[in-house]
Amino acid sequence: MNLTFLNPLLLTLILSFSQFQYRDLVGDWQLVYFDGIEKVKSSPKYLNSDKEFRQEVEERINYRLENTVYKFKSDDLLEYTDFENRKIVLKSAKIELEEDNIISIIEDNNTKKAKILELDHYRLVILPISDSPSTGKLVFERIVEEKQKDESD
């Protein structure tokens, strides 16, 4: 019996399972970490600065983390917070999930891309794709709303 067809079949099966599905993204995600934090904290400017400057940088980092939320909607729409002139701005964009787990974020005539490195029910890790040097991976955690306890309990 010739089993040479098994290798391509097995490879196709493996690849189909490794492609994430858009429905797995749907929900609200909170940014909890990005590699850029380590770059900032290891920079000479940060390391050689006084306590007040480092505290201000820490506050900015925490502010950005606390206020960066991605809301993937079921209709291929992303609502997200962004920062313009240090102010939080709510934006929306069309989302396309492409082969190789690439997300295209399409806003007006501008398209940004990122690769999904990890995705499960609680954690999303993406790597922006850009011509300029990347800030590195972005790590999100799913925002899970706690169910309200029935007051009759």
**pLDDT tens-digit profile of 91-135?**
999 999 998 999 999 998 899 999 999 999 999 999 999 887 766
What is the pLDDT, as a whole number, of residue 146? 63
Length of the chain (residues): 153
Predicted TM-score (pTM) of this structure: 0.77
Q: What is the mean pLDDT of the chain?
A: 84
Task: Please give the tally of structural domains in the chain.
Answer: 1
- Please provide the DSSP assignment of 70-82 as one string: EEEETTTEEEEEE
The tokens for 59 are 């506050």
- pLDDT (mean) for 141-151: 68
Q: What CATH number is associated with residue 133? A: 2.40.128.280
What is the pLDDT, as a whole number, of residue 55? 94
Q: List the domain range (segments joined by +) for residue 112.
A: 21-142
